[in-house]
Amino acid sequence: MNKLINLKVDKKQRQKNAEACKKKGIILPTYEQMKDPVNKIPQKIKDELKGVGLWDIHPRNLFRITWKNEPVAKGGSYGKVNYMVLPPKLTGCKANIIGMVGKYFPTGAHKVGASFSCLVPRLVTGQFDVENEKVVWPSTGNYCRGGAYVAALLSCESIAILPAEMSKERFEWLKKVAGEVIATPGCESNVKEIFDKCWELRKTRNNIQIYNQFEEFGNPLWHYEVTGSAMSEALAAEMGTTGRYRGAVLSSGSAGTLGLSYRLKEIYPHSKLAVAEALQCSTLLDNGFGGHRIEGIGDKHVPWIHDVKNTDMAVAVDDEAPIRMMRLFNEKVGTDMLKKEGIDSALVDKLNNLGISSLGNLVGAIKFAKYYELTENDYVVTIFTDSMELYGSRLEELRNERGAYSERNFERDMQLISDIGIDHMMELNYPDRKRVHNLKYYTWVEQQQRDVTELNAQWYDHENYWNQFAKYGKEINGLIEEFNKEIGL
Ligand SMILES: Cc1ncc(COP(=O)(O)O)c(C=O)c1O
């Protein structure tokens, strides 16, 4: 059986890591605590957090890697899952669309959970030397922000790698948190250049560990455990006894977030997973390639950790739609007009919770709801990964490029939403899925030296290979608990 995550313990190094953590007053949250912070995080930690800002570099903020943070900038405790339900009046489809909000994680994006889940198994097994090694975070943005942040909370150094054309906000913040920031050529979809940089670092640097989110199973595991649990609670709260959960529509960057759907499919076996991508780089739909403007997704390859055989649909979203919706939902003329049109004003004030890829996810969810002719009783879920906090500069660029936002823009953009159609979508049958799976060969076996027998196991031994998440979740929880005992705080 292929091991998805290596949990072999080096007792000596683990003890050294625990001593280093003790000196700095660091303790680690378990997945169980992230799922249920209200009941499982000790009061002492909640009290400590009363004096800590959401983004502060403070070790206790490890306990804020949860979907249940109180939505405040400082001193927040825990409550219900942060999510929004977008009504038919705004989306133009009959189904209810639930999006969980990533803004209230430290760093303002849910990727911090994936970063935690790639580093912590190494820390608590002693495979990583927290005092003498640096972590390299190859990313198109939020993963390396999350990684640099988690590493800073653990007092270890980071090297962040991301494409040069990512938003200014990401670079400015990273410069303050990561030891080193490396910009690779190109935009969002230039991931090959990031991988090449990783190979260069492997050859030229000592004492580094590279946690490549596109192949690290800690990434989907965190979403299977924590995001899946939060979404099932949000669904239960919204659906009552008459609602029907139909499926998750999620864009794929590293394919980590898809882990949430693997969990929901266990609970709701008839539900679907639709994976969204930019029409300008429609790799899953038709092996397409190209640059696009939906930061964080669609990287001209199929990640190693994507369970393709479990993916029911590919949905391509024209990047012009989220770009125009960003203006509609964030320019004052747009939000004033939305309120005038009768959209709940409290909801309109929260539309800035949706960053560009969140808007792309929303478009994908609308297409899914229209394709399957979903009704008022049906529920579709997605993720609002990060918020407009990270895209102020993009809004400014659009103002300069296209002029001030007017009522005419508003009318056109509302029309654009109501015209969202069922084009560029494909239900993936067996050969379609196999075609997508086969693309992994070129990236992972030819370029990145993965084993072809494991690639085949992903397909031919599908159940055994992919059904290991719950087992790993339990084991890592146990290892974190042991490690905390060893720290002894
Ligand atoms: C803004 C944004 N949206 C979507 C994603 C995609 O998430 P995943 O990598 O889990 O597929 C990312 C990933 O970094 C992101 O930064």
CATH topology of domain 1-489: Rossmann fold (3.40.50)
Give residue 186's pLDDT band: very low, low, confident or very high (50, 70, 90).
confident
> How confident is the model over 292-338, as pLDDT tens digits?
999 989 789 999 999 999 999 999 999 999 999 999 999 999 999 99
Q: In sequence order, which ranges of 10-65 are alpha helices (DSSP H)?
A: 11-24, 31-35, 37-40, 43-49
> How confident is the model over 28-44, as pLDDT tens digits?
999 999 999 999 999 99
> How confident is the model over 326-378, as pLDDT tens digits?
999 999 999 999 999 999 999 999 999 999 999 999 999 999 999 999 999 99
Name the residue with the closest Cα to ligand 1, atom 12: 296
Q: Report d(CA 381, CA 55) in Å as an integer.
A: 27
Q: Which of 179, 178, 172, 181 is nearest to 149 (CA)?
A: 178
Output the CA 176–ligand 1 centroid distance in Å.
Answer: 22
Residue keyed to tokens 């490690």 = 483
Cα–Cα distance list, 396 to 291, 353, 385, 480 (Å): 21, 18, 21, 44
Residue keyed to tokens 């609670």 = 233
Q: Report d(CA 424, CA 360) in Å as an integer.
A: 14
Is the pLDDT reported for residue 271 higher than 90? yes
Please tell me if the CB atom of residue 255 comes closer than 6 angstroms to any atom of ligand 1: yes
Q: Report d(CA 214, CA 440) in Å as an integer.
A: 11
Please tell me if the CB atom of residue 358 comes closer than 6 angstroms to any atom of ligand 1: no
Please tell me if the CB atom of residue 283 comes closer than 6 angstroms to any atom of ligand 1: no
Name the residue with the closest Cα to ligand 1, atom 13: 296
CB-CB contact of 152 with 179 (8 Å): no
**132: Cβ contacts below 8 Å, ≥ 6 apart:** 207
Please tell me if the CB atom of residue 302 comes closer than 6 angstroms to any atom of ligand 1: no
Q: For strand 208-210 and strand 134-138, is the pairing parallel, antiparallel, or unpaired? A: parallel
> How confident is the model over 138-158, as pLDDT tens digits?
998 899 999 999 999 999 999
Please tell me if the CB atom of residue 28 comes closer than 6 angstroms to any atom of ligand 1: no
- Return the percentage of the chain with pLDDT > 90, whole number: 93
Name the residue with the closest Cα to ligand 1, atom 2: 296
Report the mean per-residue pLDDT for the chain: 96
Please tell me if the CB atom of residue 256 comes closer than 6 angstroms to any atom of ligand 1: yes
Determine the pLDDT at residue 275: 98
To test the pocket of ligand 1, the residue of 211, 215, 357, 361 to mutate (highest count of ligand atoms within 8 Å of its CB) is 357
In this predicted model, which residue has the larger pLDDT, 105 or 489? 105
Residue 306 CB coordination number (10 Å): 23
Name the residue with the closest Cα to ligand 1, atom 4: 296
Determine the pLDDT at residue 31: 98
Q: Report d(CA 162, CA 300) in Å as an integer.
A: 15
Q: Report d(CA 46, CA 243) in Å as an integer.
A: 35
Record the pTM. 0.97
Name the residue with the closest Cα to ligand 1, atom 1: 296
CB-CB contact of 364 with 249 (8 Å): yes
To test the pocket of ligand 1, the residue of 145, 169, 297, 317 to mutate (highest count of ligand atoms within 8 Å of its CB) is 297
Please tell me if the CB atom of residue 167 comes closer than 6 angstroms to any atom of ligand 1: no
Name the residue with the closest Cα to ligand 1, atom 6: 253
Name the residue with the closest Cα to ligand 1, atom 5: 296
Residue 173 in tokens: 């913040």
Beta bridge partners of 317: 278
Which helix or strand (DSSP H or E) is residue 148 part of?
helix 142-153
Please tell me if the CB atom of residue 261 comes closer than 6 angstroms to any atom of ligand 1: no
Direct distance between the N- and C-terminal alpha carbons of the chain, in angstroms, rounded to an integer: 37
Please state the rounded mean pLDDT for residues 171-190.
88
Q: Report d(CA 456, CA 482) in Å as an integer.
A: 35
* Domain parsing of the chain, residue ranges: 1-489
Q: Report d(CA 129, CA 144) in Å as an integer.
A: 19
> How confident is the model over 393-410, as pLDDT tens digits?
999 999 999 999 999 999
Name the residue with the closest Cα to ligand 1, atom 16: 296
Output the CA 292–ligand 1 centroid distance in Å.
Answer: 14
Q: Which of 474, 470, 409, 462 is nearest to 437 (CA)?
A: 462
Output the CA 141–ligand 1 centroid distance in Å.
Answer: 8
> How confident is the model over 403-447, as pLDDT tens digits?
999 999 999 999 999 999 999 999 999 999 999 999 999 999 999
445: DSSP letter: I
Please tell me if the CB atom of residue 143 comes closer than 6 angstroms to any atom of ligand 1: yes
> How confident is the model over 192-246, as pLDDT tens digits?
899 999 999 999 999 999 999 999 999 999 999 999 999 999 999 999 999 999 9
